[in-house]
Structure 1
Amino acid sequence: MAAGGGAALMRTVLILGARAPVALDLARRFAAAGWRVIAADSTACGLSARSRAVAATLALPPPREQPLAWAAALAAGVREYAVELVIPTCEEAFYLARYRERLPDDVRVVVADFATMRRLHSKVDFIATARETGALVGVDVPATRRVHSLAEARDWAGGEPLVLKPEFSRFGVHVRLYPRGLPKEAPALPEGAWAAQRFHAGRELCSYAVADHGVLRACSAYRPAWRLGDSASFHFAPVELPAIRAFTAAFVARQRYTGQIGFDWIQAADGRLAVIECNPRATSGLHLFAACDPLPATLAGDHDGPVLVPGHRRAAMLGAMMATAGLMQALRSGRAREWWRDWRSADDVITRAGDRGPLAGSLHDLLAWRRQAKARGVGLRAAATGDIEFNGEALPS
């Protein structure tokens, strides 16, 4: 879609990861705030591209396979569109951090330095980084160790409840929960580094925040009420826990962190919180802010007021997923009344009055990823995210 009249007078934001619902959400917020929005990605991105909020789209090479070409194309796009603000949403954030110096100095890039990003992405190194902050604010940080075999994990756990997960992973993929300890018949670990972590029982929670040079600027938290198995959620019920905000504020201050950041949490039956991993990028807690909340100004570095928190208590959801996978889960598990209550209490992230193109765009993206998955002999999730995943590897200069 071409930019409307007067676009030359607008400030321009480039939103990366246009395939993601959080990118679509940001595009609508920035457009409503008077910005010209450019959406960029290296795969099918009809979800955002078909939104009325997006003025133009930028096709990029896949950063995981062609990081230098990706960085060059990004820099060219920033100059072509006179971009003054770049916001990543998915794991392209790591590549953006690595190649930040390729962009003009006067462009604001909402991302931390690469060394910090990599450390926080590691499910082992993050725990070591978070331990002092947890002790300071009264949040538990579970004992965690890097292991390379099941025998090593077994020796370390000593029969205690255990979680095993790849050191660099996302969406809960390949996580193994052993609340009664590691059984003898547990399958061997695939090659690579894994995080062995003490198991904490309780309610799963997630959070989202924006920080600027160590100052917490925005914070939200939610319960993943409905999800695909043990993986990504599609219904986000807001929660308000002062301990989450206190930990986040203290953590970003200690790291002098700039950018978006999320944490995964376990809340025990007695209410005590444990922080179990970090996502140094956007998370679905972004959806909980009201349309009138100044999130664009916060991300642009223009909001200096108190910490921004969601201005309403409505839940958010991916409506199509809730109406299909969610409803099927509800009918199979006898939770139809709970599903109906949660459906009525949530706003759809994808479809908006006057901007329904993203729904068709999301179906286009899904079909494209299915074709890729079949051609490459991989699963749908790998086809949808494999081009941007970062697993701790060294990146070329």
Structure 2
Amino acid sequence: MASEFPRILAASARMPFAVDEIHKLGEEKGHFLIATDTFRESPGMHSKGVSEAIITAPPTQEPEAFVDDVARIIDQHRIDWVLPMFEEVFYLAANREKLEAGRPDVNFFFPQLDALLEVNDKSRFAELCKRLDLHVAETIVCSSPEEFVAATQRWEHWFARATFGRGGLDIITNYGPLAGETAVEDIKPTADDPWLVQEFLVGEDRCSWSVVHEGEVVLHSCYRHPLAIDDRGGIVFESVDSPESLEAVQKIAKELNWTGQISMDYLATADGTHYMVECNPRPTAGCTVATADEFNTALFDPNGLVVVPGGRKKMIKAAVLRDAILHPSRAKADFAAAKGAKGVYDQRKDHMPLIYSALSLRHVLAYRKAAGAERSKEQLVAAQFFDILYDGSSLT
């Protein structure tokens, strides 16, 4: 029988949005919360609302051991809600039948594997959006270096990314601040690891995050990032009014009968058109601009749709300071972008995640050992998730 108050397992507690959600869950009296990750310095494992922190095997490198660890935690701690925070969700979904066996009262709050795969593959996601009459930039899928070179000659300004790339990595363009970082001839697409090339559209990057139950969106936020780290991931998040993003998520959630958290990236052009860029089948920074009450209600007691209003701001304070120190000429603009924003890691009466966000840099060493020196320039971003990432390979 399910407990009166939810007993929650939150996996991959390191990410800033995981820290935020764990903090929000911890604010609610009566919740029992287990936070897991693959290393002890994971910031979210040290939030004051965590009842117990547990180390698991890395899902990317040891998927079977990871699933066994999760099953054991569920049984030992009478867990009745499982909330994935990153791409470990693919390994859980692939083993859903095993996890559900003998556990009828556990709410595995994530979609079926088929739905996850539909949105994770950027080429399949583009086709899904076209089928639902959502705007998508013209796209060429490349499975060989020759196809890639030819595709980059299709437009004067173009943008390309790996089908299974994440976190602002594995991208190349000939226009904008990232132009020239990577040579075209260095990109080697294959049938198993294709790349997408699209016309470079000018506009504002926007993102959304939603909580969904059986195809119905119950909580939605859309946000922009006035400040990004190294022109890749946002470090300041400001909610904006965006009925276009809500309509897009509602269409996709209904089509896939989605249950769980879902996040989208868009390119909003000057005429207000929201071009679909990609889908992350997990939480992203949009959760940080929702309140604890909004989040807990959406999960455990939803009652209709709640849309986060525009004007709320959050930031990763350490990243803002890092950018200002590394680029003094940008310091004034950095602090202006962050003005009025509250911290994600350093929340009121819950400061240990901020301390551990610094200590967690030890994980960079583990990334270097696993990935080698050839990707050292991306180590701060890639080290966040190299052992909880799904790369599109077979899950069966």
Please say whether Structure 1 and Structure 2 have the same fold, judged by a TM-score greater than 0.5: yes
Any idea what SS the aligned residue of 2:78 has?
coil
Matched position secondary structure for 2:185: coil
Task: Give the aligned partner of residue 244 of structure 1.
Answer: 245
Give the aligned partner of residue 14 of structure 1: 9
Conserved 8 A contact 2:149-2:184: no
C-alpha separation between the residues in 2 aligned to 1:365 and 1:280? 24
CA–CA separation in structure 2 for the residues paired with 1:122 and 1:230:
23
1:4 corresponding residue in structure 2:
none
Residue pair 2:239, 2:312 contacting (<8 A) in 1 also = yes
2:25 alignment partner AA = F
1:324-363 CA deviation, whole Å, 9 max, x = no partner? 224544x324x61x33333331010111232111111111
| Alpha-carbon distance in 1 for matches of 2:338, 2:231 | 20
Q: Kindly state the Cα deviation for residue 111 of structure 1 after the two structures are TM-superposed.
A: 0.8
In the TM superposition, 1:379-394 aligns within 5 A as: 379=376, 380=379, 381-394=381-394
Q: How far 1:373 sits from its partner (Å)? A: 3.6
The reply to whether residue 79 of structure 1 matches residue 75 of structure 2 is: yes
Of 339-348 and 115-124, more deviation after overlay is shown by 339-348
CA distance in 1 between counterparts of 2:168 and 2:42 reads 25
Asked if residue 151 in structure 1 is aligned to residue 146 in structure 2, the reply is yes
Residue aligning to 2:358: 363
Q: CA deviation at 1:125?
A: 0.6
Which range moved further: 340-349 or 238-247? 340-349
SS in 1 for 2:338: helix
CA apart distance, 1:24 = 1.6
1:221 equivalent in structure 2 = 222
Per-residue deviation, 1:244: 0.8
Q: Specify the alignment match of 1:332 in structure 2.
A: 329
Q: Is the 8 A contact 1:294 1:303 kept in 2?
A: no
After TM superposition, the structure 1 stretch with the greater mean CA deviation from structure 2, 307-316 or 48-57, is 307-316
Q: 1:130-177: per-residue Cα shift (whole Å, max 9, x none)?
A: 1132x2xxx421222321234213434653132211110111112112
Distance, in Å, in 1 between the alignment partners of 2:239 and 2:310 is 9
Read off the aligned partner of 1:372 and give its amino acid letter. Answer: A
| Residue aligning to 2:112 | 113
Q: Name the CA shift for 1:9/1:209 in 2 (closer, same or farther; >3 Å).
A: closer
Q: For 1:263 and 1:9, how far apart are their aligned partners in 2? A: 33
Partner of 1:162: 158
Q: Distance in 1 between matches of 2:203 and 2:218?
A: 28
| Percent of aligned pairs with the same amino acid | 24
Q: Which runs of 5+ in 2 are unaligned?
A: none
| Contact persistence 1:92–1:388 (CA under 8 A) | yes
Out of 291, 307, 310, the position equivalent to 1:309 is 307
Partner SS for 1:332: helix
Question: Relative to structure 1, is the Cα distance of residues 165 and 31 closer, same or farther in structure 2, using a 3 angstrom cutoff?
Answer: same
Runs of 4 or more above 4 Å deviation = none
Aligned to 1:298: 298
Q: Are positions 1:127 and 2:134 aligned together?
A: no
Relative to structure 1, the CA distance from residue 364 to residue 158 in structure 2 (aligned partners, 3 Å threshold; closer, same or farther) is closer
Query: 1:270–1:11: structure 2 CA closer, same or farther, 3 Å change rule?
Result: closer
SS of 2:306's partner is coil
TM-score, normalization: structure 1?
0.88
Q: Who is 2:267 aligned against? A: 266
The residue aligned with 1:343 is: 338
- Using the alignment, how far apart are the partners of 2:124 and 2:140 within structure 1? 9
The answer (yes or no) to whether the contact 1:149–1:189 under 8 Å persists in 2 is: no
For 1:33 and 1:311, the matched residues in 2 are separated by: 22
Distance 1:40 1:16 in 2: 5
Alignment correspondent of 1:68: 64
Number of corresponding residues: 376
Contact 1:67-1:395 at 8 Å conserved across structures = no
RMSD: 2.2
Question: How far is the alpha carbon of 1:39 from its aligned partner?
Answer: 0.2
Instruction: For 1:311 and 1:32, locate their aligned partners in 2 and report how far apart those are by CA, in whole Å.
Output: 22
Q: What pairs with 1:24-43 in structure 2 (closer than 5 Å)? A: 24-34=19-29, 35-43=31-39
1:197 match: secondary structure: strand
Contact persistence 1:149–1:188 (CA under 8 A): no
Shift of 1:385: 1.6
Mapped contact 1:163–1:176 kept (Cα < 8 A): yes
Q: Is contact 1:162–1:196 with CA below 8 Å preserved after alignment?
A: yes
Mapped partners of 2:42, 2:220: distance in 1: 29
Distance in 1 (alpha carbons) for counterparts of 2:335 and 2:186: 41
Q: Which amino acid aligns with 1:226?
A: L
Picking from 82, 90, 94, the partner of 2:90 is 94
Q: Name the residue aligned to 1:141.
A: 136
* Aligned residue identity for 1:33: E
Structure 1 residues 320 and 269 mapped into 2: Cα distance closer, same or farther (>3 Å)?
Answer: same
SS in 1 for 2:236: strand
Q: Give 1:304 shift.
A: 2.1
Contact kept, 8 Å, 1:290 with 1:311, in 2: the verdict is: no
What is the alpha-carbon distance in structure 2 between the residues aligned to residue 276 and residue 167 of structure 1?
A: 11
Partners in 2 of 1:395 and 1:347 — Cα distance? 39
TM-score if structure 2 supplies the norm length? 0.89
Q: Does 1:23 align with 2:21?
A: no
